[in-house]
A and B are shown apart, each in its own frame.
Chain A
């Protein structure tokens, strides 16, 4: 009975999640063009190529900048929104839902909408900037500005998630603790930095890890907004471009995604260890 219930799901997971991880490592040891019947074994050659090429340094740097900026941006804005939501004045329920909503929307649809906003020649952002006398930055052709654009949209889409998680954290802080701090004559900012922020540190840690995991896997926005990946090629996008772009270098792509996978495993293990600690000692 147990097997009848669990086996279909378990078999699918083995076939389409476990098997591919192993298979992907095998691919990463091959010099293999996608679609070709021939592949030659090159050992760690693909990894050597990756770690010795200058474009890889740029890709790792882009990945780091994108991850740090989007994680930091979503969390800081999320916390600010959560603090406002925590005032519990009428209307915060609607605001909470509105701010969260982009998180559930299609990255492709969202990306297209923001392309229109950011368009250097006819975008509404440019029109606003011209109205205040500034020039329109070329978000589409300047690699640095392209990365800025992707980061802004990503933060826009994800800050509501951080806000809702932080709000739950804020609501679990006992009121009398804050009142005691206020009675001691602490200013609001002192209370925030000395009492609230330390009490939120488990939430902050959780958000850093989960948000970093998500940012490292961000694909939809990059693919639809900057298909060529100039200035916006992160590890995952490099893996995609190598296999499904012009060159079809499947073996090399597998090596890149194996490196990404190793990174994700490290982050997940950190998260699991922390969750375990919390369950036992919190």
Chain B
């Protein structure tokens, strides 16, 4: 058949109908969704700067009329706030660093080192994804308290260190690396340590960063385990400290402080998320999206 002249597809931007269509089917619902998601976060931030009289009112205004930082000061009086914040940073940093290192080592071993029954070992690691932390709660609580780990940093960090999720993501990635890359290094006489640090890690930086980010966010938000193993305010992480803060007789009067505390636990993650959302979303949805 000879060539047929097809009419050029209409350019979307110029068509009034498609513009209207885009507004009603995309922008209106998305605007509603984004407002519903962002409003509580905006409300939290603005309310944390409101004085008590603007918190306890039947007719709240969006913006603080007489902005103040007194809520933050009160939080710092009721909690060793700097200490609690530092605890969260420390537990997150140490916990995440060890977890990511363990995941890298395990994934490297599973992919690049010869060993019998590797797939079975990997399967045995994966099975633990199915063990929810709640089911392990009582036995781990009994063990850690018996070892003297209640109200200690190591007591918070240790039980969560074994990692299947990071191992899984890294193993999937390592398997996509061309074998020739490592063979060349092996011929050069590089041992496993050099192969890992000079060859595998440099080309895997984005995946390692993704695993690290997700681990950091997870550790920062972790609640159930620190809640049961910590009882002294000096050792609390932010979520546990906030629980103490919320435990008051007259909560209405405490909302300003609670919003200030929520800002402290939410805003750092939000900042990281805004900067690196592509990697975080991709990592968290990997198992589902990738096929």
Verify A217–B289 contact, CB threshold 8 A: no
Does B169 sit within 8 A of A, measured CB to CB?
no
Does A27 sit within 8 A of B, measured CB to CB?
yes
Verify B243–A223 contact, CB threshold 8 A: yes
Which of A24, A85, A104, A261 is close to B139, meaning CB atoms less than 8 Å apart?
A24
Using a Cβ–Cβ cut-off of 8 Å, how many residues does chain B contribute to the interface with A?
A: 91
Minimum Cβ distance to chain A for residue B268 (Å): 10
Near A by CB (< 8 A), chain B positions 261-291 give 261-262, 265-266, 269-270, 273-274, 277, 280-281, 284-285, 288-289, 291
Does A134 sit within 8 A of B, measured CB to CB?
no
Minimum Cβ distance to chain A for residue B213 (Å): 9
Complex interface: stretch among A10-18, A48-56, A63-71, A143-151:
A10-18
Near A by CB (< 8 A), chain B positions 4-52 give 22, 25-27, 29-30, 33-34, 36-38, 40-41, 43-44, 47
User: For B162, what are the chain A residues with a Cβ–Cβ distance below 8 Å?
Assistant: 9-13, 15-17
Which of B161, B224, B259 is close to A219, meaning CB atoms less than 8 Å apart?
B224
Using a Cβ–Cβ cut-off of 8 Å, how many residues does chain A contribute to the interface with B?
A: 95
Query: A1-37 interface mask toward B, CB cutoff 8 Å, 1 = contact, 0 = none?
Result: 1110110111111011111110110010000001000
Does B71 sit within 8 A of A, measured CB to CB?
no
Most chain B CB within a 10 A radius of its CB, from A12, A109, A206, A282: A109
Report the nearest A residue to B267, measured CB to CB. A109
CA distance A160 to B26 in the complex (A): 16
Verify A130–B58 contact, CB threshold 8 A: yes
Most chain B CB within a 10 A radius of its CB, from A124, A127, A243: A124
CA distance A278 to B290 in the complex (A): 12
User: For B36, what are the chain A residues with a Cβ–Cβ distance below 8 Å?
Assistant: 156
Which of A83, A210, A220 is close to B288, meaning CB atoms less than 8 Å apart?
A210
Does A106 sit within 8 A of B, measured CB to CB?
yes
Does A196 sit within 8 A of B, measured CB to CB?
no
Given A5-B106, A127-B59, are A106 and B221 neighbors across the interface (CB < 8 Å)?
Answer: yes
Does B132 sit within 8 A of A, measured CB to CB?
yes
Verify B262–A109 contact, CB threshold 8 A: yes
Does A154 sit within 8 A of B, measured CB to CB?
no
Verify B43–A117 contact, CB threshold 8 A: yes
Verify B134–A84 contact, CB threshold 8 A: no
Does A141 sit within 8 A of B, measured CB to CB?
no
Query: B121-145 interface mask toward A, CB cutoff 8 Å, 1 = contact, 0 = none?
Result: 1001100101110111111101000
Minimum Cβ distance to chain A for residue B125 (Å): 6
Given A84-B33, A95-B33, are A109 and B266 neighbors across the interface (CB < 8 Å)?
Answer: yes
Most chain B CB within a 10 A radius of its CB, from A3, A105, A217, A279: A105
User: For B239, what are the chain A residues with a Cβ–Cβ distance below 8 Å?
Assistant: 106-109, 220
Minimum Cβ distance to chain A for residue B205 (Å): 20
CA distance A56 to B161 in the complex (A): 34
User: For A108, what are the chain B residues with a Cβ–Cβ distance below 8 Å?
Assistant: 221, 223, 238-239, 242-243, 265
Verify A112–B261 contact, CB threshold 8 A: yes
Verify A243–B137 contact, CB threshold 8 A: yes
Report the nearest B residue to A80, measured CB to CB. B29
Most chain A CB within a 10 A radius of its CB, from B55, B128, B259: B128
- The total number of A-B Cβ pairs within 8 Å is 278
Report the nearest B residue to A239, measured CB to CB. B134
Verify A265–B242 contact, CB threshold 8 A: no
Given A119-B252, A122-B60, A160-B37, are A112 and B138 neighbors across the interface (CB < 8 Å)?
Answer: no
Does A232 sit within 8 A of B, measured CB to CB?
no
CA distance A147 to B37 in the complex (A): 20
User: For A13, what are the chain B residues with a Cβ–Cβ distance below 8 Å?
Assistant: 125, 128, 162, 164
Complex interface: stretch among B79-87, B110-118, B181-189:
B110-118
Minimum Cβ distance to chain A for residue B88 (Å): 10
Given A95-B33, A101-B270, A264-B130, are A9 and B163 neighbors across the interface (CB < 8 Å)?
Answer: yes
User: For A265, what are the chain B residues with a Cβ–Cβ distance below 8 Å?
Assistant: 130
Verify B269–A5 contact, CB threshold 8 A: no
User: For A59, what are the chain B residues with a Cβ–Cβ distance below 8 Å?
Assistant: none
User: For B124, what are the chain A residues with a Cβ–Cβ distance below 8 Å?
Assistant: 10
Does B56 sit within 8 A of A, measured CB to CB?
yes
Does A241 sit within 8 A of B, measured CB to CB?
no
User: For A89, what are the chain B residues with a Cβ–Cβ distance below 8 Å?
Assistant: 22, 26-27
Given A24-B135, A110-B266, A268-B130, are A98 and B38 neighbors across the interface (CB < 8 Å)?
Answer: yes
Verify B60–A127 contact, CB threshold 8 A: yes
Minimum Cβ distance to chain B for residue A221 (Å): 10
11 more contacts with CB within 8 A, not counting A24-B139, A109-B262, A282-B291, are A8-B102, A9-B105, A15-B162, A21-B131, A84-B29, A106-B220, A107-B221, A109-B242, A223-B223, A261-B132, A264-B135
Report the 8 A-B pairs with minimum CB-CB distance, sorted nearest first: A5-B109, A12-B162, A20-B136, A20-B139, A13-B162, A87-B26, A23-B139, A2-B115
> What are 8 A-B pairs at a CB distance below 8 A?
A1-B192, A9-B103, A87-B25, A107-B239, A114-B40, A224-B246, A243-B137, A260-B135
